[in-house]
Amino acid sequence: MAYLQITVQVLLVCVFALGGGYRFFQPIDVLARRMLWVKYFKPVIVRCIALLELVCGVGLLLPLVLSDPSGSLLFYSGSLLILTMVGAVVTHAIIGDYKQIIGNLCLIGMLYLVTFLVV
């Protein structure tokens, strides 16, 4: 189980840190062509979401590197990302982009596994 948690944690770091970094540095018009939800938010909000994903993605990585015994950084980063993904599910449901909801729910499940089922 420990290897599964580490593997899922590294996968989540790749998804959120790299994806958030990509969304943070890409122009908004490029993002709007690739992601439907970007059209419904102000550019500042899109950048804040991307920065939050980037910082929390790094927050998921640091306990692996630093061997944080308390796990509080993992808890806070994972919890904030779960809340962000719940917001993403609600947003995709409201705008009618239903096929994205499955991916968000999978990410929520993986974040729950890493954040709350720490072995």
**Per-residue model confidence as pLDDT tens digits over 60-90:** 888 888 876 667 888 999 999 999 999 999 9
Query: Could you tell me the two tokens for 6?
Result: 């580490």
Residue extents of the structural domains in the chain:
2-116
Q: With CA atoms as reference, report the closest residue to 110 among 44, 73, 57, 66.
A: 57
CA distance 66 to 73: 11
CA distance 80 to 14: 17
Say which amino acid occupies 54: L
**Per-residue model confidence as pLDDT tens digits over 85-109:** 999 999 999 999 899 999 999 999 9
**Per-residue model confidence as pLDDT tens digits over 36-64:** 899 999 999 999 999 999 999 999 888 88
